[in-house]
A = this chain, B = another copy of it.
Amino acid sequence: MDFLAEFEEKINQVNQSLQKYFMKNENYQMSIYDAMEYSLFSGGKRIRPVLCVACAELFGNAEDAMPFACAIEMIHTYSLIHDDLPCMDDDDLRRGKPTNHIIYGEAMAVLAGDALLNLAFETALQHSKATPAQTLEAVKIIAESAGTEGMIGGQVIDLESEGKDVDAVTLMAMHVHKTGALMMAPAKVGALIGGGTKEDILNMEKFARYLGVAFQIKDDILDVESTTEILGKPIGSDKLNEKTTFVTLYGMEQSRKMLEDYTQNAIATLEEYGDRAAFLKELSLFLLRRDR
């Protein structure tokens, strides 16, 4: 099977699992399920859950990784809803559609975000078929990656950096937390649940750290070079918000070079797994070349 077909199949499996885990109850509070569903099924690229499943597959059992893969996608989705709020980045458009608070109002968007973070833990705990000890370990990795020493920490650095001159070290710290943590989590959890050794888990973490930085550099390049139509959200928003990005700090040429280097470093981490890691290598190149 070629890469794109396999990628598509994995995305479908993730979407089907998300549908299965996301139960929409018909009750008093059903309006929140609409708000959650809107963002959870609004055309996300599903990079993180696919990464999780692919890393599990590299070492063995991919099926057991699915509840964790979907939990991580729920966390990613909640972070986007809260990031888009008027008091945060104040974005009206995401994935070509109005953002959550534009449709459902700010109060419901806050609650829908809270509910998706909560649902992530419910999903992992309720649907895991791994042993209790493994389940605990996986959920612990996810919780730490999503918290103040992970993704939320990155959002805080981002918030505090707006309108300020940001140096290279701070920029890297911001992205290793904000984007990297939620790429490392699925890679580590995938390796863990798939049955990888401690060394495998560390390798996958290293792979995803490189991939996460590359992903962010590409995002910064696209914010300058893409169009609102292709990207599904306003381009030039970094400039508008006076954000320091890889492009503002290093220039376009150097950013492209860094994107290439980080992607190659990610791929080099997979060398020892040979052809078994073909999908992950292709995924890294796909993310390098993407146009949105």
Contacts and interface: CB of A to CB of B under 8 A. Distances in A.
Interface in A40-93: 78, 82, 85, 87-88
A252 interface: no
Nearest to A108: B159
Specify which of A25, A111, A126 lies most central, judged by the most chain B CB atoms within 10 Å of its CB.
Answer: A111
Name the residue in A115, A148, A160 with the highest tally of chain B Cβ atoms < 10 Å from its Cβ: A148
A16 interface: no
Nearest to A105: B87
A251 interface: no
A107 B155 CA distance: 10
A125 interface: yes
A14 interface: no
Contacts of A230: none
B111 A157 contact: no
Contacts of A152: 29, 32, 111, 114-115, 118
Contacts of A143: 118, 121-122, 125
A87 B115 contact: no
Given A111-B159, A125-B140, 20 more contacts: A29-B153, A32-B156, A78-B114, A82-B111, A85-B110, A87-B107, A87-B110, A108-B156, A111-B152, A111-B155, A111-B156, A115-B152, A117-B117, A118-B147, A121-B121, A121-B143, A122-B143, A125-B139, A132-B133, A135-B136
A136 B132 contact: yes
A125 B139 CA distance: 8
B122 A147 contact: yes
Nearest to A147: B118
A143 B124 CA distance: 10
B119 A148 contact: yes
A29 B157 contact: yes
A155 B147 CA distance: 23
A291 interface: no
The 4 closest A-B pairs by CB, nearest first: A87-B106, A132-B132, A29-B156, A29-B153
Nearest to A146: B118
A108 B160 CA distance: 9
Contact of A115 (B25, B140, B148, B177): B148
